[in-house]
Every structure is written in structure tokens, then in C-alpha cells.
Structure 1
């Protein structure tokens, strides 16, 4: 049976009810993973740290996640994440609504400087659009330009055309929808009433109606039974009467012996806000949960684990460093928790001792309240009497800082320490309660100490396995040396090891020619200025387009760390690739042209000193002497993913990049905005690699965009 990877409209209706409990939570930070997963880190008054995620890729979901399950923050936040942080940091979560009965959620956040709405589309290609209070789009993960609707930055967000909402439809309107159908009952509920296949079948089962019954054979009694089943479902959703289930498919191993629990294989299949008779009839096993949000978190966590293939230990070295770092992080967190428990227990004991130290004062306060309550005086009047006592300078009254009559709690300030007292109890009972609470916290500390010992054992075990692996690996060095020249199939590897490197030229435009010479180019006038002043050396070639508006392009004869030399003869192939680089990242591409003229000069022909009476703009330079022209140089850019010696995105002329990357995508001038084209390329790369998480880590759309020409582009083979 297929596993659920997208939430249904019924799921979202239930989700909205439960998420309402988080209203008032404050947003701390926003993150974007790849091009389809948004995470909002929030603080809820009752629940503490709260993580909210939206995913709109192959998996489409929105729910809270246990903090220990959130992925590590990406190293470099893309522009979309930075925009979210600027708009949402410190904002209050004001609520969430489902648009009609569609798979669209609208999250509203309030801050003193305005309203931000995040609209999450969990249908079709999926999208996340960020708008202001008037629905003007600030930014979106995907731009939408259709005849029926448009979603682009700067425009007003347009919802899809409304459809029938079966949870609010009147009986007469329901009858009309059914009468207008020309198919069977279940298909009518699934399509015209928008329930989808699963819930259409479930409603038929609950109503006792044959699913395949032709609509022409359905009479008023059939309509009534189905409508009443819909009403009961709608009432349960509105009242929050959920009984969530996570459904599993269980199978025995091939040996046919199901007696051993270890022989039973489980697959998560579905997660629903209610038990479904359809799933039970199919033999699925349902696990009950206290909340739908918790069930969703568990379901998608387990689905992700099942999707991950276990790497073959004979093919790949386990990531011991990550495992060790994880255990060390856990130990650090556990130590922090232990310190917190110690401080909390100490504070509770100090409060109890303060009650005894100021016994007379505390007893006076509690006795006054008990006497007043015995005389049936209301709490408001008791609070007023204490306020009057403060004005007269009565010490006991001045110590009272708050009274909560609904809970029978009085808050006092004793020597700068605030303590909540139960008014029905005396001094001794309140002190004993604080001592008991301190003891309970101490027990939590003991549990944390036991847990930290277990984690330390896991840490030592990981280190031991690493040493064992390295010892075995050392014995195979000779065999490895023989195999070193063999090609690796990086695309098929279940887990590609990441080897990062940030060279000095990474902030410029750059590539290595097919002859392994470095080419750098400026991204703006400041970088053009810097390249000429700081990195131009004897022996280098300088290239520039004849058209205005292009990068200063330098073909380096040597690395800055090496001794420069004017005796090096640069290959023609490298100069031609540098020329193509110069024209591709210039206004030629931006104007939609496919070729342009480029000239090349030696480094000693370039000067920042203008002729008498002339002026050089920032980033400009003057040329002395003859130029070598490369007329009608064709534009051409390929972006690829390199797997060795480093794992990174690279880009530049196709003839150079295709020999250095494991896989490439060639671009040409086109109609797609830079950000949109980058997202299309990112999805292509994810499809090519078995290890999709590798692509997400090193080749985000933001990083791909770093190597793309300015202006519109399209993938060449499209």
C-alpha cells in the first residue's frame, strides 16, 4: 500500500484546530532547507521551545516537530530565510486558517511594525508565499504565472478559485451537487465534494452506502445518510473531538515464523485525526495518540527513516565524527539540564527556608486570607483590603504582590524573592510543598545523571568503533592504492561524504579552465576594483567584453601564494574559455544575446591611472597598447556538482566544467528569473543523486545561483 506523503483537506482542518492552541507564541528564527522546507523556531508560553515546519516538495506537510528532531541549521541562510527573519523575529503567532476546504494554510504573525502572512500551498507543485497584511507578496519559493492566478513578488496574492466546502455545505446545496453528478457515489464525494478518495470511501462506509452505487440509483435516503455522516465529521472537527491514529502495515519475514517480534516488518502507511474503518478493514494496525500534531510528527519522522537506505559498511566509511559530535552535543545539553535542576532545587529550598525565617509575616498574610474566606468575603474584596493596607504601610500587606482567586494562590515578595503560596494551607504546609518539589527536581537530576552516563558509554563505543575501523582500514592501504584510479559512481552512492573547502577566491566569480588555470571575475564595481589592485600580477591575462557592463576577468598565470612570472605561456584553450566566461557573465547574457566581442590584454597593459583630462569610474581601468579580439564569442555556462577533491557547486564555460563535475546542467539565455531557474536546477540535481540529502547540504538554490549569469536563463535541453 502506498504511504501518505501529502496531507489531505480533512487533515488540515483538524490541524488548524490544534495549532490554535499555540497562538501567542513568539518567533525566534526562521530557516530554509533546500527549496522546499521552512522551519520556524518559536517560544510558547506554556510549552517552551516550539518548532513549526512547512514542507512543500515531494512530501507536503505542516506541523510542529519535537525539538530533538529538527535538522541542524544550514550553514549559510539564503535570502528567503533572511527575509523571514527580518519580518518575523519577535513577532507573535496570531493564528492559522484553512482557505475554504482547500489544501492551503494561512499563518498570521503580528508585530508592532505590521502583519505578516505566510500562505502555504500543499497541493500541486507546492509553494510558500510571504505577504504583508494586505496580501502583497513579499517573496515566494515558486513564482506562479497562470491564466487563473498569479503569485509573484510585488503583486497581490491570488487564491485559487473557490470550491465547495463539504464541511459547511447546506443540505439543499449538497443535494444539488449530488444530482449534478454523472458518476458513482464515491467518485462524486471524492471530486465534486472535494473529500478525496480515502475520505469519500470512509463516508460511504460510515453511512452504510455501497461505494460503487451509481448516482442515478441513489435516493433521498442515501443522500440523507451520507449528509449526516458528513455533519458528524464536521462537528468532530469543529469541536476538536480527535482520536488520532498512526496506521502501520505489518508483515512477517519470509521465514513465515511470526512468533518473534524481531521478525515483524513495519511500514507506516497513514496518519489520521480519527480512526478510519477503511484502514481497519484493510488490516492496518492503528496506534493511538493524544494529539494529531504529535501523530503527524511521529509519522513523518518514521517515514523519513524508512526512506533512508542503510549504507553498506563494506562500501563506505561510517561517519564516526558526526556520531561522536552528536553524543558530545547531547552530553553538553544533559550537563546544562543537570545544572538547571540543581539551581531550581536550590531555589525551592531557599524559598522554603525563607518562609520559616519570616514565619510571623507569612502566617499573618495566610491567616488574614483564611479568616476573610471563612466570612465568605470575595477574593476581589480581599485584594482591595491588602491594597488599602499597603497605603497605610502595613508590612504584611506590602509583601503581597498578587492574588489569584481562581486558584487560591497568593504571591508574596520576601527579601526580594517571589513565592507562590496556597492560601488554604499554613506556613508549614507551604514550606513542605516547596521541599517536596525540590526533592522531585532532585530526582529529575538523578535521572539526567544516569542518562549522561549512558551517553558517555555510547560516546566511548563510537570512538572504539572508529579506532577499530581505522586499524582495519590501515591494513587495506595497499589495495586502496591500486584502486585509487578507479572511477566512483557518486550519483548512485547512498551517502556521499562531504569535503568542504572555501578558497580565497570563492566570493568572486570563478572557475578553473580545462588546463587547470584559475579564472576570477568581479561581481560588482567594488570587486572589479579589488581584483585589478590586489590580485592582478605579471603573466596574467585580463579580458573584458567590448559591450559595457561586464566583469573584470583575470586568467591567473600563478596563484597569489606562488611567485609570479611573466614567462608562463597561457594555453589558447584557457584564454578562449576565459573569454567565454567574460561574455557570459556580462550584459550580453542579460540582454538575451547569444554572442559578443571580447578583448584580451596582458596585465602590464592595465592601469588605474587615466589619461590627462579623463576620468575612471569605480571599477574601471585604462588599457595601454594593442588588444587581441575574440569576435562573436558564444555565451555558454554550465553549473555542476563536484564530488572530488571537494564537494561543492562549480560553474563556468561548459568545456571546463563538464570535465570537473560529476554532473552538470547547461544554461542559455531565457525567460526564467535567476532564482526560479536555480530552483529548477536544484530539483534536477536532487533527482540525479541517490543521496538527496547531499544535494540539499552543498547545492542549495542559493548556492547554485552564485554561479549563474545575471538576467534570465533556461536549461539548455528544455
Structure 2
């Protein structure tokens, strides 16, 4: 059986539904490989990196590809790729449609200055054309000049002549088309009804109609059964009820088709032959692999098909040539993507901050806001029309009544009143209020909106994780290549940016670019030691349990305090998905981890200036108590010898990091000094945690010329995350 090399109309119908889930993704760059493969690199703030592949040569396909299935970018872009970059870079993906029942997909992209339609013709010779807002062709892979249609720059794009859509045809129309044929059932379905050979046979099988039956001999009941089978396929496509399959074929020892699979074979060799959005009765005898989405199945199928074409089988292709890859360009590309993705996160942060500030303004002007709302509510209780309420407030404003002067708009249809309040800088901020609710309810609504937006930010941060992982993978490949190339080039280190001293005078800069991090450990207590190792601690019993069960590696170190009520603290030898070798941690690294454990324990909360901590290996930590004993949630049994750290000072430093990322950081002072552009050191004292955080925020803010930067990356709320429970005093 020859492998399928082109997607069918039914395949495209199933793909369109899934591709439209990427609506809103932004185009980063366009590439052209060889003569007939187009790659659009997009970023989706929910899913991260998106690779849209359109191929119109011997293989005809259009789908989103896994990043690992995408070849490195080609060299200098040809003119078509340059044109796509000029028109699509920064554009939003609006959606994709299948043109009638043809093998044509139209991708729509919108940008403030211009919109672009990309038409992918996945039939015949294949073509991709870019159209402007008027439908005129801006550029195309191939110029087409036929009697029936023209596709050329400067002309209006012309679709091929319409074809009957078998999935939409009524039974009457279906019966008429079938009866007009002088061929057999399967050929009529394949050509006159445009189903193609495979799905024409599938419909016959599902309808239990012999495919070679002459149309003249087909009964009305058989026609009805054929139409019902078509309708069932149509319903599955419209509802998205897919059960994708990649079908394989078992090969014999010579690479040919095997008549029978050897039941004794442990691992028979296979090749892919088809991909379908749901199981086909026509392929019942073939082994298949299921997928969660049809797009994923299509991607896997064509990836394996390409490997088969390159190697003659489904084995992995040979290693790339020994020429040095352009690691710098790959790194720069990933960094640009991350910078663009973080722009969206900054937008969410700014929006959440605005909502919180608006809520705080309501409380700061409580009496005035309450007077406005009470006035409106009293009037409505007396059935005063909204127009009269608005007129009364306007008249009050003219007389200089403060509450009335604050009212900007009254919307009776929505039941809202919009007021303007001055912030601490004297700028007027408009706030829309629910006229039926009180000040507290309206403020709570704004706080909840801030939390909702922050939830979107968290989703966006998770979405760029794959891009960051790819960046780190490129950096590792670069380091490995250089290490093998020459011993003296091993200076390229993953910790280079981490240990870099601050040479830029960040405090005096009028504007500091924000580069938000997205690290898996940020929901825990955390810091990086002065030697670059990660230390994480639990914030509660649930996180203590999670750290030990999920994140404690064989070569990590477990820290806890002698005092009751301390967090589980782990000194990590490697990341959660990385393999680690035994590490000989320095004494300074160990003492910093111990100080972190002590500072976040009850030693600080009780006002003690120092405390004791101990360290054990992971295999000494157990959740199994002695017979007859009980262990509370978040607690553990420690067996064996312990290494003690005595009289460890209770001190933390909290500061602002400006490179390589921008964020609030906190931890032992010795670990924070070289990473923070500005920092404040604290010890146990009299100020409550939130008050201490505000004091630190004000001190840090006044040190920077760009005070808005501090507000965005190190607000009092963010700084409070790094402060121990209990009272604190500022040391310096």
C-alpha cells in the first residue's frame, strides 16, 4: 500500500476546527524551505510556540508541527519569504476556513496597518498565494495563467470552479447526482460526489453496499444507506468528534509489504501509510496509533513519512553534517521570542495593578463614593428615571457638590455610574460602579478582576516554558560543541549570566526594560546561593509534602531547623527534569541554605536572632513513623546522623534584580548581594510582615530613577513573598 502524500478534503475539514483554536496567536516570522514548504512561526500566549507548516509539492499538507519536528531555519530568505515577513510579522491569526469542499485553506491574519489572506492550494501542482485586503494577489509561489483562472501578482485571486460538497448535499440532490451516473457506486462517489477513492470505499463499506454495483442496479434503500453514511461522517466533522489514527504497515525483512506479520516477531518493522480523523473500516486490518488530536496525528504522520523518504525506512536520519550550526542565531531567535512573549505578561501585570489601584482609590475616597451610590440608590428606590438622576447629578456638579462633580457618566441601561477619582499623583482615574452595590462590593469586584487577570498571566508564563527549554537546549548544544571543538573554549557556561556582576548603573537609568522570568520554583520560597545552586522551601504543610515527594533528588540536601515550625528546605543538585551527579557543595553554600531554613522558621517569628539547623541526605527522610506513632501532614521522620549548623543568624536580604531577568529576589544577604541592583537587609523585629514589605518597597523605590519599574517588578506584595513570617526590622 502506497503511503498517503496529500491530505483529502475530509482531512482538511477536520483540521480546520483544530487550527482555529490558535486564534489570536501572533506571527513571529515566515520561512520558505526549498520550493514548496512554508513555515510560519507564531506565538500563542496559552500554548507557547506554534509552528504552522504548509507544504504544496509532492507532499501536500497544512498543520501545526511539534517544535522537535521542525528543521532549522534555512539561510537567506527568498523574496516570497521576505514578502510574508513584511506583511505578517506581528499580525494576529484570525482564523482559517476550507473553501467549499475543495482542498484549499484560507488563513486570515490581521494587523493594525494591513490584513493579509494566505491561500494554500493543496491540490494539483499546489500553490500558496498571499492576498491583500481587496483580494488582490501580493505574491505567490507559482504564477498561474489558465483559461479558467489566474493567480498572479496584481490580479484578483480567482478560486477554482465550485465543486459539489457531498457532506452538505440533501438526499434529493444526492439521489439525483447518483442516478445521473452511468458508472458504478464507488466511482460515482469518488468523482461525481468528490469524495476521492478511499472515502468513497469507506462510505460503501459503512452502508453495506457492494462498491462495484452499477448505479442502474442500486436500490432506493441502498442510496438512503449511502447518504446516511455520508451524513454520519459530516456530523462527526462538524461536532469535532474525532478519534485520529495513524495507520502503519508491517514490512518484511526486505523492506517490502509483508503478506502476514510474523506472530513470533518481537518488534516488527513498520512504515506509516495513512492518517485519518477517525477509524476507517477500510483500514481495519492495519495496525494503528491513536492520538488526542487530529493535528497531532497529521504532524506525526508526515514527520515519519519524511524520515521514510530520506532514509528508505522509518529509522531516525543520520546525524547532521559536521559543519558548525549557527548557535548564536538560534539563541538570538529564542530570546526574541521570549522577549515578545513576556510583553503580554507585562500587559497582564499592568492591568492587574490598575484594577488594584482602582479598588484602593474607592477605599481612599470611601465617603464620597458612598454618597454617590447612596444618592443613586435612594432615587431608584423612589422610581426616579435614570435620565432625571443624571440631570440631578449634573446640576449638583454645577453647584460645586463634590460627590456630584466626581460623576462622569450614568448608564441606566447597564445600571452603572462612572466616577473619576484622583490618584496620589493627581491623575484622574475613571471607575465604573454597579449602582445597586455598595463601596465594598464594587471594590471587591475590582480585586477579583485583578486576580482573574493574574491568573491569565500565570497561564501565559506557563505557555513560554517550552520556548525557554528550547533556548536552554540550544545553549547546552553550543557548550557541548565548543567543548569538543577545543578545550580552551569551555568558558561558555550556563551560569555565565547568573554570576554576572552588575556593570550597568541600573539605579540611575531613566527606563529599565522588564524581562519577566518564568521559573517552575517561584510558587515556593526560593533563592539561588552565591555559587548558583537553587534552594527551595515550603510555604505550608502541603508544599512541604510536595517538595519531598516530587522534587527531592538523590543528590540534593535536606535542611530543617531544630526549632519546631520550620519549612522543608532543599538544596538542589539539579532541576526537576535533569539528571544529577553527586555534588560537593561548598561550606558557604551549605551555610546559606541553613540560614534560609532558620530565617523562615519559628526562630524568626519568636524574635530570636539566631537558630540551629541540621542537614541530611534524601535517603534519611521518611514518611514512615515508628510503630504506634503518628506523623502530621508536612512532617517527616529523619533517621541516621545529622550535620548541624549552630547559631545561624536570622537575617534575610530583599532586593531588585535587573539582569539577566527583572524581578524581586530574597534570601541570605551573602547570596543576594551580587545579584541585586539594590537590596535591604532585615532581622527579626517589631514591624508586621506587610508593614515591613511596604517599608522595603519605599526604600528600594527611592533608590531608582525609574520608580515605575520598581512598582512593576517589586511591589510591596511581591517583596512580602520573600519576608519570613513574624515581625521584622530593617538593618541598614
Relative to the length of structure 1, the TM-score reads: 0.48
Relative to the length of structure 2, the TM-score reads: 0.47
